[in-house]
Structure 1
């Protein structure tokens, strides 16, 4: 049963990630606008995705453990190109692309560098959400932001939260078993 749930969580997350940014891209194209979308937020999100992907590649993790990240990166790049296009500054895309491509190689130069980047990855990803929130609060305009994309993103996080909760409960049970084993051996 547990393996079936794990299988469902893994594959449903992958399927959701495969389509995660498509509603956002569609909303932008339909509105012919990037209104409401924070460029710094997208750049931070892409940086977080790239760091995670680079870390997984650096350590040779199995592809199925991180397959959603290349898919998300492609979608984020398309989304960024739409933002640059609708904001009328496509020329800015070049320097950002150069920074991201060069960072891919720089991160792999030293083990401590990729490890440090990975430790900061959660902070980077969280910062991207706060930057988007701040942008929405300041403009008080959601513009072409897709609620479906954010809802799908919440789903993928909810699946991961399940694993964190299960991890904590499994550790608790393990510690309780160890405690009672010690108590049982003292009674004998």
Structure 2
């Protein structure tokens, strides 16, 4: 049984999420927190596996609640369910270690998938979240004509995501720095997207996982 605590004081969200997940026999709501203090109280009492939280709505919760959960309750993981669509704020949340972020206008099927992914410790971002981050420059599937990356290009993508600089990648793969730079240019050309930091690149890998060799 997957025990969920919902931290959102919006009645419509509580009732909607309950309705969506009620068909899943292995999912159970243990409580609904209305503010930060209530959240800590319920976390301590019920020890849920998943906290579904909107850190932005109506000032009831904040990013500090996410930090607090991670620092005090190692038995729980976090699923963000929010209307917040600003790229910088979504990335700020993800950089705290949150691996699961869905927008409130995503499909019921995506919300269900997100819950199961969170329970398994897997990463999940709904299509609308990824489109907010990457815009329409990244196509969601092979039918939109995204070329396959080569084995070497895919290897370099993962090393960049690990935070390695061109020189470090060159040394690890026994390549020249010039060759690594050329590969990076080819990757950007193929994907049609210039990644600005490791967080964005990790998300890009997730978004295009079906086209990475």
TM range (shorter): under 0.3
Q: Which has the larger radius of gyration?
A: 1
**Structure with the bigger percentage of helix:** 1
Q: Which has the higher contact order (CA 8 A, sep 6+)?
A: 1
**Structure with the bigger percentage of strand:** 2
Q: TM-score, normalised by structure 1?
A: 0.24
